[in-house]
Copies of this chain bind each other. A is one copy, B any other.
């Protein structure tokens, strides 16, 4: 008789955003006349930039002709995209990363969920708390996280690094030594960042204790302050300890287009074995590449026109971020984030539970946000709003919240 992976059953509830989706659907059914504004899921709303649309049409035409038709993509992504990424995201910023250290994928969610496969089950992970739930959940499924305590909402075999108002939402080096450290800056959900000196400390620490850092830089396009690193490879020594995940979802509006990449420097090794070779094997065996038309669209992100258009798009969202930040402040909330990230992080009023505040906001302002506790135990008492709505909806949502 076949047996299931029992680790799946340890996961409490469903994936955070599935739960939110179900709650919103139920509310809509009961209140069909209410106009709900979602500042919940971090999904973009602005259409693809004209340069990207044009490239997509061109790539579709390529597929209509036997001479230019493309079948299976190369395992690690098309050279044309990998070279463009290496130049624009790394070499132009003084980071020593070459095209063949870049693995193109269909997005950072898949990569952040799948990357743990190349590590032994015996590794202990450390995560910022709160953080994007995929890091912990994918390790739960792999059996690395021990037992879940439903009361404290803590896994017995995970090192939590609290990021709260007390430490300005920046994690401290953990007391217990982890094997794998997940870092996400600009942080989802708090919107907090670390400066270059702080990140260098993490790189030095990882090299010292032999840990690997999985650095999720999905939101780097939103960095507005000078001293905040866009890539972990800006730090000395990162090539021997860090994997970086990047996404096209937020800088180019690709949440429904699906494109991302993972960087694994060739020096990153366990003994003789390079993690690069393991991930290449994983890609080669279980993945068949991102669609040609999507990889082509990726190159448009780096064109002159694309860059200019996307700079405007990011500015549009960051204007929303400022609206939300200022609006919440003026309504008396304690707020952070929103300066180097499209996320605004607020403390719930009167120490309300995160999910209670979710219900309160949905019912009274018809605004959807994300409960902080969904991102980890230290997220309890916090709440996330995103800047990814339209300008009009953002203004309207803030008016409703201020009127409460």
A residues within 8 Å of B by Cβ?
Answer: 1-6, 8-9, 11, 14-15, 17-18, 41, 43-48, 50, 53, 56-57, 60-61, 63-66, 69-73, 75, 106-107, 109-110, 113-114, 117-123, 134, 137-138, 141, 179-180, 209-212, 253, 255-258, 270, 273, 275, 278, 281-282, 284-294, 390
Q: Which of A45, A56, A72, A255 is the most central at the interface, judged by chain B CB atoms within 10 Å of its CB?
A: A72
Q: Is there an interface contact between A109 and B286, defined as CB atoms closer than 8 Å?
A: yes
Q: Is there an interface contact between A278 and B5, defined as CB atoms closer than 8 Å?
A: yes
Q: Pull 11 A–B residue pairs with CB atoms less than 8 Å apart, ordered by A.
A: A1-B210, A2-B123, A4-B275, A9-B273, A47-B64, A48-B63, A48-B69, A71-B255, A107-B288, A138-B286, A257-B293
Q: Give the complex CA separation of A41 and B75 in angstroms.
A: 13
Q: Give the complex CA separation of A120 and B7 in angstroms.
A: 9
Q: Give the complex CA separation of A121 and B257 in angstroms.
A: 34
CB distance from A148 to the nearest CB of B (A): 15
Tell me which residues across on chain B come within 8 A of A290, comparing CB atoms.
258
Tell me which residues across on chain B come within 8 A of A47, comparing CB atoms.
63-66, 69
Q: Is there an interface contact between B5 and A118, defined as CB atoms closer than 8 Å?
A: yes
Tell me which residues across on chain B come within 8 A of A209, comparing CB atoms.
1
Q: Which of A4, A45, A109 is the most central at the interface, judged by chain B CB atoms within 10 Å of its CB?
A: A4
Tell me which residues across on chain B come within 8 A of A258, comparing CB atoms.
106, 288-291
By Cβ-Cβ distance, the 4 closest A-B pairs, closest first, are: A113-B286, A1-B210, A3-B120, A43-B71
Tell me which residues across on chain B come within 8 A of A273, comparing CB atoms.
4, 9
Given the contacts A45-B66, A69-B45, A270-B3, A113 and B285 also touching, CB distance less than 8 Å: yes
CB distance from A254 to the nearest CB of B (A): 9
Q: Give the complex CA separation of A400 and B128 in angstroms.
A: 62
CB distance from A256 to the nearest CB of B (A): 4
CB distance from A196 to the nearest CB of B (A): 24
Q: Which of A63, A65, A109, A275 is the most central at the interface, judged by chain B CB atoms within 10 Å of its CB?
A: A63
Q: Is there an interface contact between B72 and A255, defined as CB atoms closer than 8 Å?
A: yes
Q: Is there an interface contact between B18 and A75, defined as CB atoms closer than 8 Å?
A: yes
Tell me which residues across on chain B come within 8 A of A17, comparing CB atoms.
284
Known contacts A15-B75, A57-B60; 10 further A-B pairs (Cβ under 8 A): A2-B120, A3-B179, A4-B273, A8-B118, A106-B288, A109-B286, A113-B286, A114-B286, A141-B282, A258-B289
Tell me which residues across on chain B come within 8 A of A69, comparing CB atoms.
45-48, 253, 256
Measured CB to CB, the nearest residue on chain B to A62 is B47
Q: Is there an interface contact between A256 and B291, defined as CB atoms closer than 8 Å?
A: yes
Q: Give the complex CA separation of A50 and B117 in angstroms.
A: 40
